[in-house]
Amino acid sequence: MLISLCLWYDVKKLLCVMTICMKTYELNKKIVQSFGASPVSDLDSVPSQYCFENDLVYSHRGFDDFYKRLLSGEKSAIVSGVNASGTLHMGHKVVFDINKYFQEEHGVDVYIPISDDESYVSGKVETQEEALRNAYGLAKEMIGYGFDPKKTFFILDYKCPEIYNIAFKLSRFVTMSTIKATYGYEDSDNPGLHFYPCVQSSHVLLPQLREDTSNVLVPIGPDEDVHLRIARDIAPKVGVEKPSVLHTRFLPGLDGKKMSKSRNNAIYLKDTGKALKKKVYSALSGGGETLEEHRENGGVPEEDMSCIYLKTLFYDTEKATALYESYREGSLLTGEVKKRLYTVLEEHNTAFVEGSRDVSDSDVDTALYQF
């Protein structure tokens, strides 16, 4: 009976991780099959960067053209937004590291809309002032993360009301029926939500409309593709090019389920010390129920969140392969792999906290996009 319970527990753990991976895969696949994106695996050339090498980027729209033009020396830009209702966590790392790679390796300007207004109209925050405070906090964290403030331009709509004039002009080229069909909004939803796709399109098309930079890339999670479909539909109607898009994969939370603030299953970039250790050591494990069982039968790295995080976010291919093999054969214990993850994260997050500590409001103001 005990063996049966242990086997059922292992099956439940594996099913938990498999379920979130399958849901993520289905969403990524739907974008390809139903909405015209192309698999990244079909590209002839991709950057030598870990997000591409570790299969963290699933599909794209026009990335081959963007990359070819970038390598030819054409001035290029990235637009990559974030919501002003929280703080940064490991789920942001993939997109951020893609953006930083292009900025550091190719000198690409990065435009970062922080949606303080959307946070307010959607009810994620109570006041516009709260949204603005959150937006400043996120901007400081991004500078602390390593984005170059001289080549990074934050767009805070509360501070940049000119964005609404652009949105107003773009609104002529999208219909309410399209917005309702795309987002599922009802007449009972407030008009700010109905109008906000025009504001997001203004963010996405800004480098072309204001800076004459037509080679633009937008890296996003698959759940954000809806925003880009609206912007890409509007682009040719206002005489600019459709921006290229990269769709990343979701990173599961510590419990193997979708990473979510409400589930408290995310590692935040500010987590250090005891708080970080508690999270890491309580993460879903793929090891045996006892040390003896693990040494005899080995573990399942594909269901162990510490193994998954180390492999996808921090280790190169050779090191990740050795990690999985050692864990699978039982020579590497669950506690040891958790310790490895904690050590890597403690170093990573401490550097982030220290880098963010001295960033001031005036530093953010200097990096605000100037209309």
- Same domain? For 309 and 180 the reply is no
pLDDT of residue 136: 95
- Same domain? For 229 and 274 the reply is no
Of residues 181, 186, 225, the one with CA closest to residue 204: 225
Query: What are the residues whose beta carbons fall under 8 Å from the beta carbon of 179, sequence distance 6 or more?
Result: 185, 194, 197, 230
- Same domain? For 63 and 211 the reply is yes
Domain enclosing residue 53, as ranges: 19-29+36-251
- Same domain? For 338 and 212 the reply is no
Q: How far apart are CA 284 and CA 83, in angstroms?
A: 28
The structure tokens listed for 269 are 């970039």
Assigned domain for 180 exists: yes
Radius of gyration of the chain, Cα coordinates, nearest whole angstrom: 22
For the domain that residue 329 is a member of, what is the CATH number?
1.10.240.10
Assigned domain for 168 exists: yes
For 338, counting Cβ atoms within 10 Å of its Cβ (0-12 exposed, 13-18 middle, 19+ buried), the class is buried
Q: What are phi and psi of 245, to 5 degrees?
A: -135, 140
Assigned domain for 8 exists: no
Q: How far apart are CA 272 and CA 85, in angstroms?
A: 21
For the domain that residue 221 is a member of, what is the CATH number?
3.40.50.620
3-class SS of residue 26: helix
Given 218, 251, 284, the domain boundary residue is: 251
Question: CA of 176: how far to CAs of 80, 117, 186, 191, 294, in Å?
Answer: 25, 20, 10, 11, 58
Q: What are phi and psi of 39, to 5 degrees?
A: -65, 140
Per-residue pLDDT of the chain (371 residues; tens, 9 = 90+): 433 434 433 444 444 444 444 455 677 888 887 778 999 999 999 999 999 999 999 999 999 999 999 999 999 999 999 887 778 899 899 999 999 999 999 999 999 999 999 999 999 999 999 999 999 999 999 999 999 999 999 999 999 999 999 999 999 999 999 999 999 999 999 999 999 999 999 999 999 999 999 999 999 998 889 999 999 999 999 999 999 999 999 889 999 988 877 788 999 999 999 999 999 999 999 998 889 999 999 999 999 999 999 999 999 999 999 999 999 999 999 999 999 999 999 999 999 999 999 999 999 999 999 99
Q: How far apart are CA 315 and CA 59, in angstroms?
A: 23
- Same domain? For 150 and 187 the reply is yes
Rounded to two decimals, the pTM is 0.90
The structure tokens listed for 110 are 């990065």
CB 206 within 8 A of CB 155: yes
For 23, counting Cβ atoms within 10 Å of its Cβ (0-12 exposed, 13-18 middle, 19+ buried), the class is middle
CB 109 within 8 A of CB 77: yes
| Helix (H), strand (E) at residue 115 | strand 109-115
CB 289 within 8 A of CB 281: no
Full DSSP string of 314-342: I--HHHHHHHHHHHHHTSS-HHHHHHHHH
Given 251, 282, 309, the domain boundary residue is: 251
End-to-end CA distance of the chain: 69
Q: How far apart are CA 58 and CA 25, in angstroms?
A: 9
- Same domain? For 165 and 268 the reply is no
CB 46 within 8 A of CB 272: no
Provide the number of structural domains found in the chain: 2
| Helix (H), strand (E) at residue 234 | helix 225-234
